[in-house]
Chain A
């Protein structure tokens, strides 16, 4: 019988949930600004985008602080083992009804693919989006700040980052359905508890 484990603490759940909402909001308003569709209007999109960006920035500062004080940042260190097994599971095992090869636990809650993806997210994509986003936000003050850049390059990098976020979002949401039951992972990130496939190693 599978046992229930507490996978995500209250802060992590709050953080993840708020971050998800903000990123969806940033994506929608961002592509409205970009002119891809007309939904709430350019003006409101700009203001929502900027407000969401500031809130996200505040949240991320908190999250970084939390990760370092709790030591949880180690969760994202690249794993050396189980990579092959994990890849094989998603390509083959999952269709055969095999259990996930990676035992989730409070101490090791991310499988090697997750570790790799989230590390990429945290070290590359978020910084890219923040740096270009804040450069964009303060483009009017570049001369005072001594920054020489051109808005077009900044905007294009920011747009490229936005596409990467969407791709991540699509795959990420899909993978949440690959738990024991399609909603198992979703329940876990909302409630904190997940039925472990295997007893903790």
Chain B
């Protein structure tokens, strides 16, 4: 959904103290929350709706009690970032464990080798910044539409320690046993073969239907359903219906490292489902390779008159239009879109959307890599990839029909010839 109008909740990750509205000064040092990343005690926790603040005294928010954090103790223990400090935000994107990414969740706090060969507790034990090397607080990675630095070769001193891409440590031809695999790396991203499935330990949300939110139980109270219980809630009055899945096979798309986003107030095109954010790239483009994604399916409110995606107000007191208090989409969109400065006609309907998440983590040992036949098959993993010839998937039906017809005709002809020979020999003998 949208960050506008929901500031106090979203900014608990989108860092900073006191980020209440658009007047927040990003450039002020005091406002950059250092402890989220530099706490090593594991006790620094923010109140979910606390506008980016932790609990200074015992606080209750969304039914959870937050004990006051001991800032003195934490301050004495600041240190290097860890999977836990980065994960404090990235494992909970979307407001709960595993909602967004599917390849970044709490299972990576202490992963086994089977889950992730690099972050394996007993092995390499990489932290996030082993790959996302950070210089002067520039964490390497893709930033919205700006691709991550890509160098498809070993990282050299002149790369300034930049080694986010797999190739920077492994080189573009890491396979010794089978050169055929190395032939793929210019077109198929390493992740495509090395992440056969994501959300292998904890489930992730695959779809979210807001249109059915706002139902109440017999007593008129909001309710939650959790079936089966080990998976996240699949119905909540506030959120609608969520579908969770584990061990999900990714969807493959061409990807040049950058994304396109639907901007606030942008008119919805003809494409259905509406892609809110998706990968750029295509066959034949030099920087494009086939990459794995999680596609998050959504059903969300939109304005059918102005043809724009709705910007609801979610959090807030009763009467403010906040959906979680008033449960009225029209009021929620009116408040949310006013705050964002986007025209709202007053009409609300629901539309299917897709959000892409690129999959880069949870690399299992090499034995678990995707096998050849998973892609080299008529309806394999590459079924939706256009623009390349893939043996075993592609063929010319005309050529195959013609070829097999010729084979059948020649087999038929020699059979008839042979039969005639046998018959004629019988006749000679009979004469």
Contact = CB atoms under 8 A, between A and B. Distances in A.
Contact of B414 (A35, A162, A174): A174
Given A95-B424, A152-B394, A155-B391, A160 B399 contact: yes
B366 interface: no
B373 A41 contact: yes
A39 to B, nearest CB: 12
B167 interface: no
B371 A174 contact: no
Contacts of A166: 403, 407
B389 A163 contact: no
B369 to A, nearest CB: 12
Nearest to A175: B414
A167 interface: yes
A61 to B, nearest CB: 23
B425 interface: yes
Interface stretch (B118-126, B330-338, B415-423): B415-423
Interface string B73-86: 00000000000000
Contact of A43 (B373, B404, B410, B424): B373
B83 to A, nearest CB: 35
Contacts of A80: none
B424 to A, nearest CB: 4
- Interface of B, helix, strand, loop or mixed by DSSP: helix
Contact of A171 (B378, B400, B414): B414
Contacts of B389: 150-152, 155
Interface string B11-22: 000000000000
Contact of A42 (B392, B413, B420, B424): B392
A170 B428 CA distance: 27
B71 interface: no
A46 B414 contact: no
A194 B396 CA distance: 44
Contacts of A95: 420-421, 424
Contacts of B421: 94-95, 178
B385 to A, nearest CB: 14
A114 interface: no
Contacts of B407: 163, 166-167, 170
Contacts of B368: none
A87 to B, nearest CB: 13
A159 interface: yes
Nearest to B420: A95
Contacts of B393: 35
Interface in B122-170: none
Interface in A57-106: 90, 94-97
Contacts of A139: 183
Contacts of B394: 152, 155
B226 interface: no
Contacts of A140: 183, 186
Which range holds the interface residue count of chain B?
35 or more
B395 A159 contact: yes
A191 interface: no
A122 interface: no
Contacts of B400: 36, 159
B395 A33 contact: no
A9 interface: no
B377 interface: yes
A40 B1 CA distance: 49
Contacts of A96: 424, 428
B411 interface: yes
Contact of B391 (A33, A41, A162): A33
B372 A43 contact: yes
Q: Which of A34, A41, A139, A170 has the most CB of B within 10 A?
A: A170
Contacts of A156: 396, 399
Contact of A163 (B378, B406, B414, B425): B406
A158 to B, nearest CB: 10
B180 interface: yes
A159 B399 contact: yes
B245 to A, nearest CB: 28
8 contacts: A33-B392, A34-B395, A35-B377, A42-B372, A43-B373, A139-B183, A152-B394, A177-B418
Interface of B: 180, 183, 186, 371-373, 376-378, 388-389, 391-396, 399-400, 402-404, 406-407, 410-411, 413-414, 417-418, 420-421, 424-425, 428
Given A33-B392, A139-B183, A159-B400, 15 more contacts: A35-B376, A41-B373, A42-B373, A42-B377, A43-B371, A140-B183, A152-B389, A155-B391, A155-B394, A156-B399, A160-B403, A163-B407, A166-B403, A170-B410, A170-B411
Which 6 residue pairs across A and B have the least CB separation, nearest first? A163-B403, A174-B414, A152-B389, A140-B183, A95-B424, A151-B389
